[in-house]
Each structure stands twice: as C-alpha cells, then as structure tokens.
Amino acid sequence: MSYLKIKVQTNAKHSGVVNFIGGVLKVRVRAVPVDGKANLELVDLLGKILKLDSSEIRLVRGFRSRDKLVELKGISDEEIGQRISINAS
C-alpha cells in the first residue's frame, strides 16, 4: 500500500498530469468541484495513469480541498514514480 499527495486544478480545459515534484503530483481535471465530480474524475484519471482499478484507489484526505492524499493498493512507491514519468512525457 502506498500513499500519494496530489494537488488538483479543477475546471481545466484538459485533464492530465502537470508534473510530479517533491513527492506531490499536480493534476488537472475537467470536472467542476460540485457533488464530488472532480474527485471521481481524479480517481478515474489515476486509474488510467497508474493502471489500477478504481477499487484500488481511495481518497483518504482532502475531499473538499485541492490538496489531497490518496491511498493506492497493489503498487509500490517506485512503480508510482515510473508510471507517472512515462505518462507525463
């Protein structure tokens, strides 16, 4: 089990990874932060990037904040870095 700190920009033109600096993943999502839509899109985006099922991704902290902490099951910290760097380039 691994944890990932995320900074989210909502209501963006395109969804995707901005960068991964200092252990914080900066992400843009198209959804607006209403009724959890941005959080759902974030989980979906992380699943695609990290090749994980949505059941393996759990939002731990930051439900109503731009700064979030996500728990990831079935992936190591090293694999997270590798998969993010592949998708960010």
Range 2-88: architecture per CATH? 2-Layer Sandwich (3.30)
* Number of other residues whose CB lies within 10 A of the CB of residue 6: 19
Domain boundary assignment for the chain = 2-88
**CA 32 to each of CA 5, 29, 60: distance values in angstroms, whole numbers, following the listed order:** 20, 8, 20
pLDDT tens, position by position, 34-52: 999 999 999 999 999 999 9
Between 70 and 1, the more confident residue is 70
pLDDT given at position 21 = 86
pLDDT given at position 81 = 85
pLDDT given at position 1 = 87
Which strand ranges, in their side-by-side order, compose the sheet holding 16-21?
16-21, 24-28, 2-9, 67-72, 57-61
Instruction: Give the whole-angstrom CA distance, residue 73 versus residue 70.
Output: 10
Q: What is the pTM of this model?
A: 0.90
